[in-house]
Chain A
Amino acid sequence: MIKFSFDKRTVKARVKTNSHEEILRQLATMLYQAGYVAESFIDAIISREAIFPTGLPTEGYGVAIPHTDPHHVKEAMIAIATLEKPVNFKIMGNPDEEIEVTIVFMLAMRDSSSQLQLLSNLMSVIQDIGLLKRIYASESEEELLAILNDAIDL
């Protein structure tokens, strides 16, 4: 297992955004500019979200985990944004319902087997309401990074 840590360039605290498409584009562009994904990742993530939505009705804080086909990805990374005000995402597996999302974890994943531990730790983060609260309360990228790197602990 390769040591994983979040990248300051792909973490954003308290983003003001008006739609789920806008935040998807912003996060995907950050991943592209930092060199983790191909430019095609940006459109791919938006079109995939329309077909396979990724909103998760977690306790207290709606979370979304947008991701797309691995061939757009060069190196594994997770980009994160906390939103100043929530935007609606459709619920995974249940596209007729929407939830308000305040934290977005955008997954740039290459192959699932080598990233299982990372994914599994991320799911533990998503299931930890105390941790989500601290993530959401972070005022700066530095604070967010410290919490995340500590929480994912690989």
Chain B
Amino acid sequence: MRKYKVLTVCGTGIATSTVAAEKTKEMLKARGLDVEVVEAKASEVASKVQVLNPDVIVHTTPVSDSAAPGIKKFRGLQFLTGIGMDKLADEIADYLKSLE
């Protein structure tokens, strides 16, 4: 199985993307997926997308399509509030598995 690449994005790249990154890693691992997670702040998205070429983006601040064309995006607020966290992780996992 291949390793999937996830980019987590928040406003400053200091607080929420860090938490979202950890949760994403933990919850996708629990779903049997091997993931590499990289954090970015909103202003870095376009350049990080080019370097990393992520399979998905998990964001807590809006990401424009022009900054990350053609990449599936998930709002990651659930990883911070805990509400609907499992459902979100299932959705991301299902999407990644569908890429095989």
Partners in one complex: yes
Number of interface residues of A (CB under 8 A): 30
CB distance from A50 to the nearest CB of B (A): 11
Binary flags per residue of A95-116, CB closer than 8 Å to B gives 1, else 0: 1000000000001010111011
Check B14–A123 contact: CB distance below 8 A: no
Residues of A contacting B76 with CB < 8 Å? Answer: 93
Residues of A contacting B16 with CB < 8 Å? Answer: 54, 65, 92
Segment of B30-38, B47-55, B59-67, B90-98 in the binding face: B59-67
Residues of A contacting B61 with CB < 8 Å? Answer: 52, 92-93
Check B15–A109 contact: CB distance below 8 A: yes
Partner of A48, one of B11, B18, B81: B11
Partner of A112, one of B18, B42, B75, B83: B18
Check A56–B81 contact: CB distance below 8 A: yes
Segment of A17-25, A29-37, A67-75 in the binding face: A67-75
Binary flags per residue of B68-82, CB closer than 8 Å to A gives 1, else 0: 000000011100111
Q: How far is the CA of A26 from the CA of B21 in the complex (A)?
A: 31
Check B82–A52 contact: CB distance below 8 A: no
List residues of A whose CB falls within 8 A of some B CB.
48, 51-52, 54, 56-59, 65, 67-70, 91-95, 107, 109, 111-113, 115-116, 119-120, 123, 126-127
5 A-B residue pairings within 8 Å (CB atoms): A54-B16, A93-B60, A95-B62, A112-B39, A126-B82
